[in-house]
């Protein structure tokens, strides 16, 4: 089975939330709320996306995260690579020497590279905008403040 890591999947989910609300700064607790992911997972993933230059972080009470570029300009491959590293179906498709013990004798190495390149090419054609559903405007999470009891005359 060829499968993305959970963090790569989560990173795409989180980025679609930002892409669906391009003019809204979203904080980690709010992203956790709308995605159902734990806050520590959101914080860890967002940190990786910031380091990769896909997301900008603004500190402060009114801070949060926002996309650096338009969703149409962010291919899915960039998001996956930011979290998982290079996309490689087999060890011989990684651009590092000595990863595979039989690499020098392997008769399928060239074909695996073709397949890997085709998969990467297909993923490059899909942008964050393609992955983003239509979303309702986001109302930031507000702490619960009890309303005065009207029956008690307060």
Q: So what's the pLDDT on residue 95?
A: 63
> Three-state SS string across 97-134, please?
CCCCCCHHHCCCHHHHHHHHHHHHHHHHCCEHHHHCCC
Q: Mean of the pLDDT values across residues 100-116?
A: 76
Q: Which pTM was predicted?
A: 0.78
Spelled out in words, what is the top-level CATH class assigned to the domain 6-131? mainly alpha
97 vs 14, which has greater pLDDT? 14
- Whether 93 has a pLDDT exceeding 90, the answer reads no
- Whether 111 has a pLDDT exceeding 60, the answer reads yes
- Whether 148 has a pLDDT exceeding 70, the answer reads no
Map out the domains of the chain as residue ranges. 6-131
Q: Mean of the pLDDT values across residues 13-37?
A: 92
Q: Mean of the pLDDT values across residues 74-94?
A: 87
| C-alpha closest to that of 109 among 124, 95, 123 | 95
């Amino acid at each position: 089975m060829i499968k993305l890591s959970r963090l790569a999947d989560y990173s795409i989910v989180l980025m679609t939330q930002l892409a669906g609300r391009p003019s809204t700064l979203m904080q980690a607790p709010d992203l956790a709320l709308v995605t159902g992911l734990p806050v520590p997972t959101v914080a860890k993933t967002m940190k990786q996306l910031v380091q990769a230059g896909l997301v900008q972080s603004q500190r402060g009470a009114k801070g949060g995260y926002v996309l650096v570029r338009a969703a149409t300009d962010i291919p899915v491959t960039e998001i996956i690579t930011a979290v998982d590293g290079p996309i490689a179906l087999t060890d011989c498709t990684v651009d590092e020497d000595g990863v595979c013990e039989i690499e020098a004798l392997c008769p399928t190495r060239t074909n695996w590279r073709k397949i890997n390149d085709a998969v990467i090419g297909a993923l490059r054609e899909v942008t964050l905008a393609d992955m983003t559903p239509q979303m309702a405007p986001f109302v930031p999470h507000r702490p619960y403040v009890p309303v005065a009891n009207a029956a008690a005359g307060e």
